[in-house]
A and B are shown apart, each in its own frame.
Chain A
Amino acid sequence: MAAGRLAVARRITLARAWLDALRGTSHVVMSSADLRALLHLLTDRLAEALAAEPFSPAPGYEIGRLLADAGFTEPESLARTVGLLGAGTPDPTDRPEPEARARLAELLGELAAGHTAALRDRILTAQEALIRAALIARNRAESLLHATETRFRTVFAGSAVGIGISDLTGSILDANQALLDMLRHPLEELRQHSIADFVHPDDAAEVSAAYAALVRGERDHFQTDKPLYRGDGTVLWTHVTMSLIPEEPAGTGCVVTMFEDVTDRHLLETRLRYLATHDPLTQLPNRALLHENLNQVFADARPGDRLGICFVDLDGFKVVNDCFGHAVGDRLLVEVAGRLDKSVSTMGHLVARMGGDEFVILVADSTGPDQVIEVAERVLDALLLPMWIDDHELTVSASIGIVERRVAGTDPADMLRAADATLYRAKSDGKGRWALFDPLRNAYEMARYTLSAMMPSALAGGEFFVDYQPVVRLTDGVLAGVDARPRWRHPRQGLLGPDRFVSLAEETGQTATFSRWLLLTACEQAARWQQSYPGMSLFVSVGLSASQSEDPRLVEDVLRILDSTGLDPRRLQLELNRSAARANVEEPSAAVRALSARGVRFAMADFSLSHANLALMRSLPVHTLKIAEAFVQGLCPLEPDPSDLQIVTAIVSLAHGLGLTATADGVETATQAARLVDIGCDAGQGSFLGRPGPPEQVGRLLAMAAPGDSQPSVLPPALA
């Protein structure tokens, strides 16, 4: 049995030696314990095989396989194994050497064979598995590619956006249906063209340059909006995006161009711009477009360039609207716009509707005022023919303000202001005409405007004062009353008479303030006289403007002033002047009657037997007629003007016939006075009878009156 134990001990030693030999020869992942177990097993098998009767080398094959299967696949592992075992495997049976060695050799041969066989099987299995895996992977990739391509194809074919694929030179390779529809070309025909063939020649250079830059890699992609020209000649607006798709090998690739139809958007933008710059009613350019053009003219102007502007304003348009309604008014404007357009636009000038019934014509690069005047004349001519609107035959005229000057030295706002001012002049000159900007007139008007602007503060500041002119009873030269005459001591312009500011006040709407001041001042003064000289029955005469006489608060104002001043109403005379006479008779007559009932007297100034005067007399209860200066003038020379004489006589008898008094204005000479006395005129005023002067002057006259006289005498004793 010792032999048995020895054999075991020898086997353990061998197994350990084998393990040591194998260590590191192959990369094996078995744990040391497992490795030791394996090698013990193999060693035992080897020993058994060596000792077996009958002997067979077959087990060696199995040992070799097991070794390979354990992972000892490196050649080194086999080499070490064979080397170690071949050096002398202990034979438990102590057989004779040659036989033992022969058996070992055969076993090792089988071991090597088994190892190799196992290795071959492992390699083949591994390779087969790997190749299969590679094939599977490849198939999957191809499917994926196919799916991707299918996806791409679907997108390409079905896209509503036009897609074109071209090579690096621009030749079209492929186009999707959307693009074919857009361009209205079949694909084959398209393939013979390049992308640049479908843009406008003007755009072709830009597109080609961008394409080239794209191909060179200088930019990623290129976007633009371009019109595309179809096979049938029509145009399509497109938003174009080009991208480069590089491919391998380097230097190959293609360009993908996408065309998005933005015609609708383009049309919409165009339409919006049109709407923003044109008047919806007349379709003429609107004020915005005019300003744009005007500014452009100034921006583009070269030295020496000139331009002209006509401000055209329809006369009496308000009447049309009021009488026939706004629908008719609108159609009238459309008709007018049409005529303006026809007559002026053909000359290449811009006609714009500024608003309401106002139009502006811009004559750029004008050659002189004559050219622009001709334009204005054409406009006036065009409006001569009546217009038929809704069975109404309407005629309108226009007033036109023309400004024509060099571009240098002015600006758009200045031009428009000047044109406006000139238009105003055309209107006030009588309408239905053109007026050319006159720098002097303009300066004059500017001055008047400045003056009127200063009136309010002047009134408040006491620059205004009242002079009083005696009104004398011609029969006995007694002072009957005074005529209140306002004056303005202007700080710069000196003393200004009513002719300088009364109508100005009327025009600029400041009459109310002014008139109230005048009335108040005159009444206050008269009241003072009344108080100081109670025996005197002196009246004060104050002129009434048209707007005052129409003011419904006139009665209220006058009564308030009479109350506050304490003036006896019978001492106030209100004079209705020419403009009041022209006004609507309703309001004034009611006011006049009301005040008259309180005792206020009324005179009609500047009386001239005109239709208006006479008509007014029928409705207004006046007390006095003041004969116009013009006629009194005619009484002055040695041989009086016969007609003037007649007229004055007529007025006096008319007055007396109606129970009124007659007063003559402008009595400057003794002759006039004498003749007036002869005619029977009751009273007069004028430089012969007394110049307007401060209240103190009147006061002196009153003071000089002999006690007991009701009124002082003013005439030189010679005439009395």
Chain B
Amino acid sequence: MERPDWVPRGIDVDQPSIARVYDCYLGGFHNFAADRALVAEIRKVLPAAPLFARANRTFLTSAVRYCVQAGITQFVDLGSGIPTVGNVHEVARKADPRARVVYVDSDPVAVAHSEAILGEDEQATVIHADLREPKRIQEDPAVHRLIDFDRPVALLMVAVLHFIPDSDDPAGIIGEFAAPLVPGSYLIISHGTDDGPVSAQFTNATNMYRQGVAAVTMRPRDEVAALFGDFELVPPGLTWVAQWRPASEAEDVAVPETLFGAYAGVGRKR
């Protein structure tokens, strides 16, 4: 049965949450015992589990830097999680001080945490919303305070679309978000996949994650590519997450280029 709306996810600190488990993978301290316990269990099965998170994080940084270089100063990060070290507004502002960021997450603890971190920052804000309701987000005054939709925007959906099942029509959701964006806007996506030489341990680890944290819908390459819709992939196109511009400055040597498990790409709206 569907969980009623007024009991939000993530509040139960005895249950692992997506945001805290991700932080744990990255070696952060913004997590509780339940999160750490699950990560420990997963690492028993798949010791390299944290690498996937780290590769993803590196891609995020690279993609944001790429967009700033392309002239983007407005970012919307859907499913932003806990904004710890190397978050979007820090990375973007380092390259362009004018950068403005709207973080969106449905986890009320992550949102409260983000609010505390962002404090009085006038160029960054966080809103509590489910990305499955594009209209609500698009109509939120907080978004409009920072984002001018008449100018290009970079929309981030990093490591979030695999939490949206087919029944929620992810392509449709992307379409709704993309509709008001002007040409020259960017769409940044990384997405979990079963493609590649997955081992039994990989599958087990994924299932443990599904049972302990949240349901995951892995998608094959063509489906992930299709999610870009009208956004034309910039070079190197859709690649393994660790291979997207590996020559960038933010390299994490622990992560092998051949690491599969997720696709990554950046698309530009024509």
Alpha-carbon distance A123/B116, docked complex (angstroms): 16
Q: Which of B31, B91, B109 has the most chain A CB within a 10 Å cutoff?
A: B109
B179 within 8 A of A: no
A137 within 8 A of B: yes
Question: Which residues B131-167 have CB closer than 8 A to chain A?
Answer: none
Find B30's partner among A26, A74, A126 (CB 8 Å cutoff).
Answer: A126
| Chain B residues positioned under 8 Å from A33 (CB to CB) | 249
Q: Which of B20, B28, B112, B117 has the most chain A CB within a 10 Å cutoff?
A: B112
Alpha-carbon distance A678/B54, docked complex (angstroms): 153
Distance from B22 Cβ to chain A, minimum over Cβ atoms (Å): 11
B109 contacts A134, C-beta separation under 8 Å: yes
Distance from B10 Cβ to chain A, minimum over Cβ atoms (Å): 7
B254 within 8 A of A: yes
Chain B interface residue count, CB cutoff 8 Å, equals 39
A129 contacts B6, C-beta separation under 8 Å: no
B174 within 8 A of A: no
A141 contacts B108, C-beta separation under 8 Å: yes
Alpha-carbon distance A145/B26, docked complex (angstroms): 34
Alpha-carbon distance A144/B128, docked complex (angstroms): 13
B76 within 8 A of A: no
Find B29's partner among A127, A137, A246 (CB 8 Å cutoff).
Answer: A127
Alpha-carbon distance A132/B112, docked complex (angstroms): 8
Find B109's partner among A24, A123, A125, A137 (CB 8 Å cutoff).
Answer: A137
A129 contacts B253, C-beta separation under 8 Å: no
| Chain B residues positioned under 8 Å from A134 (CB to CB) | 11, 13, 109, 112
B108 contacts A27, C-beta separation under 8 Å: no
B193 within 8 A of A: no
B1 within 8 A of A: yes
Question: Which residues B19-46 have CB closer than 8 A to chain A?
Answer: 20, 26-32
In this complex, what residue of A is CB-closest to B50?
A: A27
| Chain B residues positioned under 8 Å from A133 (CB to CB) | 109-110, 112-113, 115-116
Distance from B258 Cβ to chain A, minimum over Cβ atoms (Å): 15
Alpha-carbon distance A148/B115, docked complex (angstroms): 24
Find A138's partner among B11, B27, B253 (CB 8 Å cutoff).
Answer: B11
| Chain A residues positioned under 8 Å from B252 (CB to CB) | 24, 27-28
| Chain A residues positioned under 8 Å from B67 (CB to CB) | none
| Chain B residues positioned under 8 Å from A30 (CB to CB) | 250
A23 contacts B85, C-beta separation under 8 Å: no
Alpha-carbon distance A79/B31, docked complex (angstroms): 24
B200 within 8 A of A: no
B190 within 8 A of A: no
B194 within 8 A of A: no
A130 contacts B11, C-beta separation under 8 Å: no
| Chain B residues positioned under 8 Å from A129 (CB to CB) | 30, 113, 116-117
In this complex, what residue of B is CB-closest to A72?
A: B27
A29 contacts B250, C-beta separation under 8 Å: yes
Find A137's partner among B6, B111, B249, B251 (CB 8 Å cutoff).
Answer: B111
Alpha-carbon distance A129/B20, docked complex (angstroms): 13
> What 3 pairs between A and B have smallest CB-CB spacing?
A29-B86, A24-B254, A126-B29
Given known A-B contacts A130-B31, A130-B32, A137-B11, A27 and B113 have beta carbons under 8 A apart: no
B7 within 8 A of A: yes
A29 contacts B253, C-beta separation under 8 Å: no
